[in-house]
């Protein structure tokens, strides 16, 4: 039997022969997936680009990869709604966990910022020519680009914005809002991660975490065979290294930290974390199992540290359901990678804004990042500098998060990260620049943020391994902030 597609094409050919050129001039039959590119904005030093991938075939696309070249002198900056790998001037974007499936006739988009005058070429979608043609570009605006990344197409399930990005300067003071309950935390706090595993850093019982830390994130809860569900227990390797350490010992240590005023939360994810919350059922499983672990061990809240993508819609549903079970004192923290907080349209940033009314703090990992654009969008700032930390924190502060919801995540010295390690004094300078407008580098934010929440470090174990320099320098400095 002739396949249905071949039959349709045969009919098209027969009709074309009968009806002549008027029929042939109609749009061609969609041959499969295509990708089209448009510059959605341009300014003197760069532009914003957007690719739209459309499934013109008859079966669902499960996963996509789009590659293109940029000419010498044109460089990529921040990007959203995709993952990126680059080799020279060849850049490959792949789907995130929530936008890899494209039904027949449906489309997904991703965007990025670039510096230089060039445009993409040599586009390939899943190894084949993109076939999207050369779309028009938007003429350069007469006013400078906005100081925060322009809104882009959000993940599926949220209608695209219809209002263009603002180009007027932000107000001189942040809008007043009422923060959620503090969960017993100070105005400015130091957060540190505690290892529930063996690695080259020193192993610690939870009770041996230095008292400098206000909030300790236990790394990590793990996935189960049930999507969204969490499990936690003391790692056998850690227990052996400590000469014996049980779940009962750990639970008693949580109470010990509570007695000295330190809060303890359970972190979900990490670099190899595979917890997925992509539908209502997995959101329910997440909330139910997280609530059970909080009750069992005495945790004060939850930390979202998923480095392999998340679905903001269903994770928001899960966190609201968890708060309904645990109560208004639940601490909700996040530790996104730097790239996850470049645009309000990105999954992590969207999640933070969607749960702003119940969110405690976002401690962005300002390391392992390379150079990135800040809120001025005029230069790529090198990681490991005051400029980098301040200019990227500024994106969050100017795009909707309250100062008390923004923390600065930095590694605790040698061994803790592959790049972006800074002296603790640099962290203090960044806090001063944001809170007071002092000790800034060449980049100065458009206003000060006295309520900036504080700092986070990966990790307590690495800090202890390196002589406790991070906590002993940053913790007392936080007490001096306004």
User: Does residue 59 register a pLDDT over 50?
Assistant: yes
User: Does residue 271 register a pLDDT over 90?
Assistant: no
List the one residue out of 298, 218, 290, 296 whose CA is nearest residue 258.
Answer: 298
User: Does residue 113 register a pLDDT over 50?
Assistant: yes
Q: What is the model's pLDDT at position 161?
A: 39
Map tokens 């994770």 to a residue: 315
Q: What is the model's pLDDT at position 370?
A: 87
Tens-digit pLDDT profile for residues 311-330? 999 999 999 999 999 999 99
Q: What is the model's pLDDT at position 12?
A: 36
Q: How many CB atoms lie within 10 A of CB 258?
A: 14
DSSP β-ladder status, 33-43 and 46-55 = antiparallel
Q: What is the model's pLDDT at position 163?
A: 37
Question: For 221-225, 292-296, 360-364, which range has the lowest pLDDT when averaged over its residues?
Answer: 221-225
User: Does residue 24 register a pLDDT over 90?
Assistant: no
Of the spans 113-117, 162-166, 325-329, which averages the highest pLDDT? 325-329
pLDDT band at residue 379 using 50, 70 and 90 as cut-offs: confident
Tokens standing for 154? Answer: 């959000």
- Give the burial class of 65: count Cβ atoms within 10 A of its Cβ; 0-12 exposed, 13-18 middle, 19 or more buried: middle
Q: What is the model's pLDDT at position 389?
A: 97
pLDDT higher for 413 or 143? 413
Active site residues per annotation: 307
pLDDT band at residue 139 using 50, 70 and 90 as cut-offs: very low
C-alpha neighbours within 13 Å on the C-beta side of residue 471: 23
List the one residue out of 176, 195, 179 whose CA is nearest residue 187.
Answer: 179
Q: What is the model's pLDDT at position 159?
A: 41
Q: Rounded CA gap, 227 and 284, in Å?
A: 10
Q: What is the model's pLDDT at position 152?
A: 41
Question: For 92-96, 268-272, 314-318, 465-469, which range has the lowest pLDDT when averaged over its residues?
Answer: 268-272
Q: Rounded CA gap, 268 and 398, in Å?
A: 27
pLDDT band at residue 170 using 50, 70 and 90 as cut-offs: very low
Q: What is the model's pLDDT at position 438?
A: 97
pLDDT higher for 209 or 11? 209
Average pLDDT for 405-411: 98
Question: For 105-119, 179-193, 352-366, 395-409, which range has the lowest pLDDT when averaged over its residues?
Answer: 179-193
CA 481, distance to chain mean position in Å, is 27
Question: For 156-160, 300-304, 367-371, which range has the lowest pLDDT when averaged over its residues?
Answer: 156-160
User: Does residue 75 register a pLDDT over 60?
Assistant: yes
Mean confidence (pLDDT) of the chain: 84
């Amino acid at each position: 039997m002739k396949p249905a597609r071949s039959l349709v094409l045969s009919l098209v050919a027969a009709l074309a022969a009968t009806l002549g050129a008027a029929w042939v001039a109609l749009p061609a039959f969609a041959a499969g997936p295509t990708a089209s590119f448009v510059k959605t904005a341009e300014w003197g030093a760069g532009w914003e680009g957007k690719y739209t991938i459309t499934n013109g075939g008859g079966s669902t696309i499960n996963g996509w990869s789009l590659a293109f070249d940029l000419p010498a002198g044109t460089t990529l900056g921040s990007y959203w709604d995709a993952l990126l790998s680059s080799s020279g001037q060849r850049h490959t974007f792949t789907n995130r966990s929530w936008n890899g499936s494209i039904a027949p006739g449906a489309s997904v988009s991703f965007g990025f910022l670039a510096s230089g005058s060039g445009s993409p070429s040599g586009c390939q979608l899943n190894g084949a020519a993109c076939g999207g043609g050369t779309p028009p570009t938007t003429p350069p605006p007469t006013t400078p680009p906005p100081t925060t990344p322009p809104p882009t197409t959000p993940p599926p399930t949220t209608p695209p914005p219809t209002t263009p990005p603002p180009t007027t300067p932000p107000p001189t003071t942040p809008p007043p809002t009422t923060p959620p309950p503090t969960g017993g935390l100070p105005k400015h706090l130091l957060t540190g991660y505690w290892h529930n595993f063996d690695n080259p850093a020193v192993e610690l019982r939870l009770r041996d975490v230095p008292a400098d830390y206000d909030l300790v994130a236990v790394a990590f809860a793990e996935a189960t065979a049930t999507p969204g569900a969490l499990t936690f227990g003391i790692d056998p390797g850690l227990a052996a290294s400590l000469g014996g350490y049980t779940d009962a010992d750990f639970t008693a240590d949580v109470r010990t930290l509570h007695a000295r005023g330190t809060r303890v939360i359970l972190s979900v994810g990490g670099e190899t974390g595979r917890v997925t919350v992509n539908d209502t059922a997995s959101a329910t499983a997440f909330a139910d199992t997280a609530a059970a672990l909080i009750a069992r061990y005495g945790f004060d809240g939850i930390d979202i540290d998923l480095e392999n993508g998340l679905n903001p819609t269903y994770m928001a549903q899960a966190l609201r359901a968890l708060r309904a079970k645990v109560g208004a004192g639940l601490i909700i923290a996040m530790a996104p990678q730097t790239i996850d907080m470049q645009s309000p349209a990105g999954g992590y940033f969207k999640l933070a804004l969607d749960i702003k009314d119940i969110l405690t703090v976002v401690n962005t990992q300002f390391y392992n990042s390379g150079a990135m654009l800040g809120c001025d969008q005029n230069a790529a700032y090198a990681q490991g500098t005051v400029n980098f930390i301040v200019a990227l924190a500024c994106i969050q502060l100017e795009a909707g998060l309250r100062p008390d919801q923004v923390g600065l995540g930095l590694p605790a010295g040698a061994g803790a990260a592959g790049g972006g390690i800074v002296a603790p004094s640099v962290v203090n300078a960044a806090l001063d620049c944001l809170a007071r407008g002092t000790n800034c580098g060449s980049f100065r934010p458009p206003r000060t943020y006295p309520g900036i929440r504080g700092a986070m470090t990966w990790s307590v174990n690495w800090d202890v391994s390196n002589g406790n320099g991070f906590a002993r320098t940053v913790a007392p400095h936080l007490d001096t902030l306004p």
